[in-house]
Amino acid sequence: MLHCPKCGLLSFEFDGQKIYRCTHCDYEFFFNAATAVGALIIKNNQLLAAVRAHNPGQGQLDLPGGFVDPDESLEEALKRELQEELSITPSVMRYYASGSNRYIYNTIEYTTCDAFFICEVEHFGNMKANDDISEYRWIPLQEINLQAFAFNSVQRVIEKLINQYS
Ligand SMILES: [Zn+2]
């Protein structure tokens, strides 16, 4: 973004953190952190991990979840993502922790704030990977390699979970 949306001049400058400001007309645009959600689903001491189908982090592990759409709550977004990615419906979603990330998409670096929920799922019968994930894996908690996960916030929340469970 180089052109000011108000006056149209090539005078739009980024402060390097979150504000674009026009040096000509003082118009400001705030580039705030995007909200995302992730699910921690544990069964028999195994964590449900997703394999990312697309970049960033294609082929690396992630937690099921994704970005919150406009007008959605965190819970609505997580329910929708679990349905889209795995065709499962959580019966319980309990907020656990959050973390920040930097996420590059189409050469733009976005900052995100990711909220993680411990989810209980009663029926895994129809579970299948689609949408943003290419497959899913159950990984025993004691065998988890944090470096195999694409994002910092996800690595940190899983680390917290492992420390709490062991
Ligand atoms: Zn301007």
Percent of the chain whose pLDDT exceeds 70: 99
- C-alpha 21 to ligand 1 mean position (Å): 8
pLDDT per position as a tens digit, 77-102? 999 999 999 999 999 999 999 999 98
Sequence ranges of the domains in the chain:
1-31, 34-165
Specify the range with the lowest mean pLDDT, choosing from 37-46, 84-93, 157-166: 157-166
pLDDT per position as a tens digit, 47-71? 999 999 998 899 999 999 999 999 9
- Domain at 34-165: CATH code: 3.90.79.10
pLDDT category at 125 given cuts 50, 70, 90 is: confident
pLDDT at 42: 96
Query: Is 80 exceeded by the pLDDT of residue 165?
Result: no
pLDDT at 160: 96
pLDDT at 166: 67
- C-alpha 65 to ligand 1 mean position (Å): 37
* Cα radius of gyration (the chain): 18
- C-alpha 102 to ligand 1 mean position (Å): 28
Half-sphere exposure of 10 (CA within 13 A, CB side): 0
* pTM confidence score: 0.90
pLDDT at 1: 73
Ion ligand 1 — residues with CB < 5 Å: 4, 6-7, 22, 24-25, 27
- C-alpha 29 to ligand 1 mean position (Å): 11
Q: Are 15 and 7 in contact (CB under 8 A)?
A: no
